[in-house]
């Protein structure tokens, strides 16, 4: 079990407190390719933030790869994010004045890996994404699909336990979206656990399991692609 959520509750305080997550229970196995789907305001982004240790929750328990993620200091959270989670965002979130290699290598900078070594590892990841020839281009000089592949390379460089993707195809055209989803499927086939938050049914259909969330609650499982075998490493 790589992700285990037990009775997670989250309320945003305010004049009218907003109870966004209500008793969420969720298990995700190692090697799964999961989509979290829901309408906007359903709480799926909050769930992703909690999964990504970018936000905390009020009650319940969250285990990531066996580690209880609760009331962590900002430093510990940063360290766990760095080592265990690879993020892929809708808007790519690359640093505009750093070239592709530097962007990919950045997570290793915060691990204190030497420049030479992290650039070497970053090159390896870019080669894997078929972007070796774009290594020294700035994000502004790359297409949307290329940017997203750079972002995916960055998410993979620390060899994380899980990849969290927030609307990874939201800013891409359909062909590129398709390529990116194929890439995720390939990575998943190699054993990577991937959680994708999306509202695009096409993206959901390309995963092995859909978790629907509505009004802060998980809608009971309905396997979409029922007979697709799960790859377990």
Closest CB 155 distance from another protein, rounded Å: 8
**Smallest separation (angstroms) from another protein to the CB of 165:** 13
Return d(Cα 115, Cα 227) in angstroms, integer. 46
89-105 as b/e, with b when 16 or more CB fall inside 10 Å?
A: bbebebeeeebbbbbbb
3-class secondary structure, 125: helix
Binding mask 155-174 for another protein (x = CB under 8 A): ---x----------------
Determine if 74 is a binding residue for another protein (CB under 8 A): yes
For 202, phi then psi, to 5°, come to -60, -45
Site string for another protein, 17-56 (x = CB under 8 A): --------------------------------x--x-xx-
Instruction: Show contacts with another protein in window 178-217 (CB under 8 A).
Output: none
Nearer to another protein, 54 or 135 (CB): 54
- Is residue 95 involved in binding another protein (CB under 8 A)? yes
Binding to another protein by CB under 8 A, coded x per residue (else -) over 122-161, reads --------------------------------x---x---
Residue 75 interacts with another protein (CB under 8 A)? yes
- Judge contact between 120 and 80, C-beta under 8 A: no
One-character DSSP codes across 18-49: EEEEEEEEEEE-TT-EEEEE--TTSSHHHHHH
Encoding tokens for residue 120?
A: 């070497």
Size of the site for another protein (CB under 8 A): 27
Distances (CA, A) of 210 to 7, 8, 24, 35: 19, 19, 15, 5
Binding residues for another protein (CB under 8 A): 49, 52, 54-55, 74-75, 78-79, 81-83, 87, 89, 91, 93-95, 97-98, 106-107, 109-111, 115, 154, 158
């Amino acid at each position: 079990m790589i992700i285990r959520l037990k009775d997670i509750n989250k309320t945003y305080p305010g004049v009218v407190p907003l109870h966004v997550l209500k008793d969420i229970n969720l298990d995700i196995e190692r090697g799964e390719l999961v989509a979290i789907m829901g309408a906007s305001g359903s709480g799926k982004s909050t769930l992703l933030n909690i999964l990504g240790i970018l936000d905390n929750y009020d009650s319940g328990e969250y285990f990531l790869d066996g580690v209880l993620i609760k009331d962590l200091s900002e430093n510990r959270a940063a360290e766990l994010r760095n080592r265990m989670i690879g993020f892929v965002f809708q808007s790519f979130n690359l640093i505009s004045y750093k070239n592709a290699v530097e962007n990919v290598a950045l997570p290793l900078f915060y691990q204190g890996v030497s420049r030479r070594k992290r650039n070497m590892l970053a090159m390896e990841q870019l080669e894997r994404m078929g972007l070796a020839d774009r290594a020294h281009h700035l994000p502004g000089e790359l297409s949307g699909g290329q940017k997203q592949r750079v972002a995916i390379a960055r998410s993979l460089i620390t060899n994380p336990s899980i990849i969290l993707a927030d609307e990874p195809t939201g800013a891409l055209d359909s062909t590129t979206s398709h390529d990116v989803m194929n890439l995720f499927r390939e990575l998943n086939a190699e054993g990577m656990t991937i959680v994708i938050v999306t509202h695009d049914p096409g993206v959901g259909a390309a995963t092995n399991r859909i978790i629907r969330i509505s009004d802060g609650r998980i809608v009971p499982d309905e396997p979409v692609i029922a007979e697709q075998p799960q790859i377990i490493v």
